[in-house]
Amino acid sequence: MKFLKKLCFVFLFSYGVIATAFPQEIGRSVYLYAKKIVDTLASPGMHGRGYVNDGDKIAAEYIKGEFQKLSLQTFGDDYYQQFRFPINTFPGEISFNCNFCSGKKTLSFKGIAGKNFLVASSSPAINSSFSTIVFDSTYTTSSKKFEKFRKKIKSKDVFVIVDDRGVTNKLKLEYFKKVKEGYFGTNVIEVVIKLIWRMSQSVEKCVKIQVLADSFLYTMKGHGAIVIENEFIPNHTTQNVIGYVKGTEFPDSFIIFSAHYDHLGKMGKNVYFPGANDNASGCAMLLNLANYYAMPGNKPKYSIAFIAFAGEEVGLLGSKYYTENPIIPLRNTCFVFNMDLLGTGEEGITVVNGSVFKKEFDTLVAINAQNNYLKEIKIRGKAANSDHYYFSEKGVKAFFIYTMGGIKAYHDVYDRPETLPLKEFENVYNLIIKFTNSLQQP
């Protein structure tokens, strides 16, 4: 009895230590730190981490502050690697409204920026009233018919409504595409089922507006008013944020963790793109991994660098600049693990370059199976869709992982911290650490 009691006590005690004090505590702190980072980076004060109100700079300063707290080492005087690029921005007023005649009734579209319309980021400034004409399938039956559409364009202020929903014929879709791309030199209203914003480094001659199909009921005859204020910045200065932990056995061999911290910024005074999943979540993983490897008990054998890339949404600019001006020689860079969109995971993860570096992919899959972390690890080939790309193009082994399932918000105003699940975050974190440790075996 006594013996049993003692055994029970020992069992309970060790169970308590293992099950409560260790994994749950660590897990909880990983989640809480991730939540704090996502909430901060996606907050209104970061202005969408773009190029209005210095959003990118504020975000870089925040990440730099976290690197300092974790005592990451710098390669030069500080954590920054600066570079420049041109960008079109919208810091001022934006409004867009239309009315359409429907018999005796009027169909009104009241534009709510971000919610039912977007201004394409290549758009110039405009302040005018306009009339609308509709480009429809009847102009897509032959090139002759297509050219006839030009006759409908009576003034340069006209907006052409382009709506290719329901069109499946490839040839016809080509004609629609031409109009959207400005073939007739007109302003364009594109009817879409989902609003998706992207950045532009140039200013086009014509305005392009995306309108959400559900809220945009149009007829052949319409008119409206539009105001767009843009500011083209020819030489914006931004920065990659780079720190590292020195390896204990092979300090000259580097593993790089990367995640871009920039997002789309603001469209007008009042609308900002929070970018919680894209990519505050990846930054949250980057900083959690930095926190892990900076701890005295977890010092890695190889050196590990942590890079928060800038300018990704503009076209992978930060990683392009880095690989052209590498701070760590590329030949000493053993592996790059790029993380972008890590806030979900209910359906597992996808590994871009998985089929390019199959041995490493198989190791990742085996670790996942042994530990039961994630539902699925999907394999993908090469794709120029995040910051891993220029590394693997230059012969450096690189993975890009993103999580699947959960919320569908993407490059819109709904990518918000309060709806980001982060449920699988800790499993992804543990998987990455075990995989990274496997890379350091001699």
Residues binding Zn ion (CB under 5 A): 278-279, 340
Q: End-to-end distance of the chain based on CA atoms, in angstroms?
A: 50
Q: Indicate the residue type of 252.
A: D
Give the bridge partners for 302, in sequence order. 250
Provide the minimum distance between the beta carbon of 7 and Zn ion in the complex, in angstroms, as a whole number: 53
Decide whether 79 or 402 has the Cβ nearer to Zn ion.
402
Decide whether 189 or 342 has the Cβ nearer to Zn ion.
342
Provide the minimum distance between the beta carbon of 85 and Zn ion in the complex, in angstroms, as a whole number: 17
Query: Whole-angstrom Cα distance, residue 143 to residue 131?
Result: 25
Decide whether 56 or 278 has the Cβ nearer to Zn ion.
278
Q: Indicate the residue type of 438.
A: S
Q: Using an 8 Å Cβ cutoff, are 171 and 189 in contact?
A: no
Provide the minimum distance between the beta carbon of 61 and Zn ion in the complex, in angstroms, as a whole number: 20
Query: Whole-angstrom Cα distance, residue 140 to residue 329?
Result: 53
Decide whether 319 or 430 has the Cβ nearer to Zn ion.
319
Query: Whole-angstrom Cα distance, residue 256 to residue 305?
Result: 5
Provide the minimum distance between the beta carbon of 294 and Zn ion in the complex, in angstroms, as a whole number: 25
Provide the minimum distance between the beta carbon of 383 and Zn ion in the complex, in angstroms, as a whole number: 13
Query: Whole-angstrom Cα distance, residue 369 to residue 191?
Result: 44
Provide the minimum distance between the beta carbon of 341 and Zn ion in the complex, in angstroms, as a whole number: 6
Q: At what angle do helices 281-294 and 25-41 cross, to 10 degrees?
A: 140
Decide whether 210 or 279 has the Cβ nearer to Zn ion.
279
Decide whether 116 or 240 has the Cβ nearer to Zn ion.
240
Distances (CA, A) of 258 to 252, 287, 290: 18, 10, 11
Give the bridge partners for 135, in sequence order. 162
Provide the minimum distance between the beta carbon of 38 and Zn ion in the complex, in angstroms, as a whole number: 14
Query: Whole-angstrom Cα distance, residue 1 to residue 21?
Result: 28
Decide whether 160 or 264 has the Cβ nearer to Zn ion.
264
Q: Using an 8 Å Cβ cutoff, are 411 and 196 in contact?
A: yes
